[in-house]
A and B are shown apart, each in its own frame.
Chain A
Amino acid sequence: MERRQKNQQQQNPRRNPLSSSSSSSSSHSSNRKSRYRPPNRASGDARARHREDSGLDSGDATTWDEPRSLARSIDERASAAGTRSSMGIREQQEQHQHHQDGENARDSREFASAVGTCPYMCPGMGEMAQRERLRDLAVFERLHGNPAKTSPELAVKKFCRTISTRHVQLSDIRPLSVLGSTLDYLMNLMNSTPEPFETVHDFIFDRTRSIRQDLSMQDILDKRAIHMYEKMVNFHVISHHKLRLSSSGPNSFNISSLHHLNMEQLAKVLTSLYNLYDLNRDHNSMHKNEPEYRSLYVLLCLNSESLPEGERLSLWFRRVPTPVIKSKEMTFARRILRYFRTDNYKCFFSTIAAEASYLQYCALEPYIDKVRALAVLLINNGGYKLHPYPIAHLSNLLMMEESEVESFCIACGLETSLDEQGNKVLPTKQPAFNHPKAGHGKYGFSGFENICRTL
């Protein structure tokens, strides 16, 4: 992009190499306050390079631990989003969207290091008044239920896709402190409202997008941004779980598209969060919550085969920092991945029950019924015909209530029966197994209350 190159020239004018006292190593340091200068890095290396291409390269990913000081430019973040980590869903489209979220990358340079001045959750002058007039108020924003009246305590700035930063005033942008309290307000709303979850989800989905927009326009890329992005990931992961619960009945088609959009957005927010972790890394350290939030990616993508080619987990792991790999949370995720990939239903469930955090559980929840179906398939397939499998035992293995096990088996096209003592059993070697249709039923998880205690 021309702007970027021009900027570089401004900061690094072509100097007459023989003039005054400038030596080669100072040519870049004069107007840059780099926090860290590794020894001998900038002096380049004088080893003779291979004259010819050696043909192949070793294939190992470059080490990740090149320290970087805080980045200031949005361009960097935009390109970093493309190169640093790739994410499941249509990466290029997402990168384009990321550009849009961060607004027109070139124009927003004007806002670099600018601080917004809007003191309310929603800019008072323009947006609030306009939306009152147009009766464009969400149910949570209505004062006493009045669709044409709101207040500064209730109105929250909407996400605007086509905003041109040329027309945006600083008074329309919320500073960090206001963004923080806006986010807290929204998170509280999620837990306290009587409205159906889809409605809350929709509202928070949009309003948090606007928060990210304000954050990026002000170039906030430090630990405070990390803190906020983590909360937004929480929202999307919990929605991932709660939207499944509400997906039944006449609304179910709408919910499943909400679920899909939520997953897309979750992917974007996670990618941005990982970029923030990378930007803020000091030497070999990692952010306090980084292991858990990295582990979520693995758990969301257990079925790596469903990801587009070139984005499989094998590639993703190449670029994960070593301290994160060795962390408790990532070790858990990798073990779950191993159990999933080897069809080890016994360890899959027992490990989740014993070690999963609430967020981790929510992330991997869609796979739970898949593994259950697999377990039933394997047992039906390999079990001795004269030894029907006790449902009680199955319920322990699969972490399900006995009654739910029964209906699950039936959903798999299998019949249950009773043994001589009157216990429920699953006869094996039944010929007609099928995988239950998606969204067929909501089954619980026996260890769920325990897991919720980690919240």
Chain B
Amino acid sequence: MAYLSMGEAHRRITDYLGRFSDAVSSQDVASLKHLLSLSSNSPSLLSLADALNLFQDANRLIKQSDKYSQFAEIVVPLFRCLQNYKLNNLVDAYHAYEKAANAFIQEFRNWDSAWALEALYVIAYEIRVLAERADRELSANGKSPEKLKAAGSYLMKVFGVLAGKGPKRVGALYVTCQLFKIYFKLGTVHLCRSVIRSIETARIFDFEEFPQRDKVTYMYYTGRLEVYNENFTAADQKLSYALAHCNPRSEENIRMILKYLIPVKLSIGILPQDWLLEKYNLVEYRNIVQALKRGDLQLLRSALEEHEDRFLRSGVYLVLEKLELQVYQRLLKKIYIIQKQKDPSKAHQMKLEVIIKALKWLEIDMDLDEVECIVAILIHKNLVKGYFAHKSKVVVLSKQDPFPKLTGKPVNA
């Protein structure tokens, strides 16, 4: 580390203080937000931290001048945060940042216009990210990780400040998205409900007014919630919106959206093309798509098993499992087509024994009872039109459209 003199340290500190107060007084949010962006690890902030750790008496400097002391409530804890951050005391850094953030919000409230909104975004982001790191530190030391939860509470407060009639309200969606990330990470997803309700039903909000980027993120998270709740039509709508409005160059984001959209589309009978899976590195879905195309139940099962952990962690496993009914439909349709080629007049009658044989060929053992059961299910869900004759162990298919397509609607319950 280069030698740092007291004089230089003093200069760096007063320099920052000057920039801070100038930014506020001239409402220069572009400058202000850089001064708050801890995790950017910008050289100027890091060198300021070194200066603070050396100088040790920045508070005196702050209080010395009226120009700076008006921001003491914000800057004093912010400095403390920087010092701790540089020394890797993340828990202390978080505490200090939260204090600074609270003071900032108080000031923000008093500013009439929404000029400082982007600075507030930075603070909201930093609070979350710092809390995550603080929690990692706590866990590593055998303590309970609770800072992310605290960050959630802080952000709810911020949401409350923004949820008013003035121009600041367009910031509410960004804060909502930060809250979503927190709740999803903590697993307390049910807490999303109340913010969603505020955004979607409060009269002060007009969804179209919000920035595009925030709308995409919002639809992504609410779309995911619909997937977990298995409301496929709503999930399709929201995730498709996110996909359509997402920046086409941010491949990573597109990939995230597709990861959830694909299972939804599969459930309503729409298959993605292979180039899509290839391009966005979603090859875990490849065999599942194949299984649906071929009616290959074994392939579906092995694909689910191969990526079991991944699918469980993202929460789409149960959705994919249910695709087996569509796979059965495809298998029966193939048998039907083969029978039609051999003898069109008898094609609509399918012996259960033949189905058993086809399954055996796929290395799956099923007895008569189970096959009959599957047929009964397919008929009930309108994946097959016809009936089964128990005594003759035969499925009799309808002469017209015996295998109705899903046409974009989920398999009916």
A residues adjacent to B (C-beta < 8 A): 5, 8, 12, 14, 16-18, 24-25, 27-29, 32, 34-38, 41-44, 46, 48-49, 51, 53-62, 66, 68-71, 73, 75-76, 79-80, 82-86, 91, 305, 308-315, 317-320, 322, 325, 337-338, 341-347, 377-379, 381-387, 389-390, 393, 397
Contacts and interface: CB of A to CB of B under 8 A. Distances in A.
Nearest to A14: B92
B107 to A, nearest CB: 23
Given A42-B137, A309-B190, A313-B318, A346 B256 contact: no
A18 B53 contact: yes
A331 to B, nearest CB: 11
Contact of A59 (B142, B187, B256): B256
A117 B386 CA distance: 73
Interface stretch (B13-21, B23-31, B307-315): B307-315
Contacts of A309: 190, 193, 225, 229
A51 B389 CA distance: 66
Nearest to B53: A17
Given A24-B88, A79-B144, A381-B379, A346 B184 contact: no
Given A32-B142, A377-B380, A341 B321 contact: yes
Nearest to A379: B376
Contact of A24 (B89, B125, B259): B89
A350 B376 CA distance: 17
Contacts of A16: 56
B228 A314 contact: yes
A383 B388 contact: yes
Interface string B184-207: 111111111100000000000000
B115 interface: no
6 contacts: A59-B315, A61-B313, A314-B319, A318-B314, A318-B315, A344-B374
Interface string B290-315: 00000000000000000011101111
A28 B141 contact: yes
Contacts of B228: 310, 312, 314-315
A61 to B, nearest CB: 5
B146 interface: yes
Given A83-B149, A382-B375, A68 B316 contact: no
Contact of A343 (B133, B224, B377): B377
Given A86-B187, A309-B190, A35 B142 contact: yes
Interface in B44-93: 53-54, 56, 83, 87-92
Contacts of A76: 143-144, 146
B76 to A, nearest CB: 13
Given A17-B53, A85-B187, A319-B187, A387 B389 contact: yes
B252 interface: yes
B260 A311 contact: no
Considering residues B220, B377, B396, which has the most beta carbons from chain A within 10 angstroms of its beta carbon? B377
